[in-house]
Amino acid sequence: MELKRVVVTGLGALTPIGNNLEEYWQGLLNGVSGACPISHFDVSLFKTRFACEVKGFNLSDRMDVNIKELRKLDLFTQYALATAQEAIEDSHLDLSKEDLVRAGVIWGTGIGGFTSYGEEIVNYANSPEPRFNPFFIPKIIGDIAAGHISMHFGLLGPNYVTTSACASSANAICDAFNMIRLGKVDWIITGGSEAPVNFSGIGGFNAMHALSTRNDDPSTASRPFDKNRDGFVIGEGSGALILESLDHALARGAKIYAEISGCGLSADAYHLTAPHPEGNGARLAMLHALEEANLSIEDVDHINTHGTSTPIGDLAEVKAITSLFGEHAKNININSIKSMIGHLLGAAAAVESIATILTIVHDIVPPTINHFEDDERIDPNLNFTFNKAQQRKVDVAISNAFGFGGHNASLLFKKYKA
């Protein structure tokens, strides 16, 4: 059986530095930090009082959704619908002409309706009667974002959500890639969304000592690969991609951003929350992506790292890169856009894949901002694209995503060539 080629034909982004694709990309190139004091709830008693929030978002400004319907949707689902809408519009798919049995949704989220869950439990605890909102369950379950996208656009093909912590949307994209190249569908809306900036999210990650506590200077708190990094900055938002078989895209005259040709998956099998200290699982994921794409290590021009700004995680990923790529690692532009958008958990891979794709399209690598002091444990000859975007030809790029539980995923994108 000959596998189909898979291309990216539509993108949608809702991030802490831009509420649409163009705003997001310009924010990345300009090195904008999305970190700010938390506005969603009272944080006075928390160790961390800042995050990378989405700003000025209202779903009813983008879609025909009334207030009654909005009350049935957790924020992570609202984010998902907004970016799916933008991606469909960007792809110029005419749904009236499509066989919607051959179109689906594969989405990713790490936590799902976290905000609604917390609010409902608090309401229950403070209520004289044990009452729950009848939409409580449909608001919090992780699969519901894919369900709403499917219902909104009338897509009748595969419809489900992947959950693998912070690798969730990478797994979703990988599944969509495989579904299309096997010929089961013509196109899929894929990506991920997350809305974890709430008291449970901040309190829970604070209890793990995972978050930065630089409350005096939030905009520089996310410092991937910097010597004084002290934890990640939690973020929220969504990213949507239209993956399509090349045959289908060409037949309808679609614009093509890039081709996805490799997906590598692995497990650390090491620790509940910490990566393998030598980056063994991360190395395997990148290697598998290269092998599936039938490319060599010398072909890679850029790596968008998981790069969360944690002391252990960043170092392990660097070890994985140097172990796999050897001397060629010095020729690769490495970056972490989490320095700007924070860590979007299950949505991170989708939003970062979009950045990776646009890097290939425009031949410019967004910076890793907030670098102040080198970490003596990291090879100074590696190019982390610190503090300023760098122009260079990018034909092949890898985007990494790793999650609690030892889940590793690497997605390989390349310039589309006929």
Catalytic residues: 166, 306, 343
Q: Return the residue matching tokens 């891979």.
A: 349
User: Could you tell me the end-to-end alpha-carbon distance of the chain, in angstroms, rounded to an integer?
Assistant: 21
Q: Give the span between the Cα atoms of 39 and 415, in whole angstroms.
A: 40
- Asked if 296 and 290 touch (Cβ cutoff 8 Å), the reply is yes
**Alpha-carbon distance 406 to 404, whole Å?**
5
User: E strands within 253-328?
Assistant: 258-267, 302-304
Residue 416 tokens read as 């589309």
Burial class (CB in 10 A: 0-12, 13-18, 19+), 96: exposed
- Tokens standing for 402? 């790793």
CA angle 198, 204, 208 (to 5 degrees): 145
Q: Which of 195, 202, 194, 201 is nearest to 49 (CA)?
A: 202
Burial annotation 179-188 (CB, 10 A radius, 16+ → b, else e): bbbeeebbbb
| CB contact set of 43 (below 8 Å; sequence gap of 6+) | 37, 49, 202
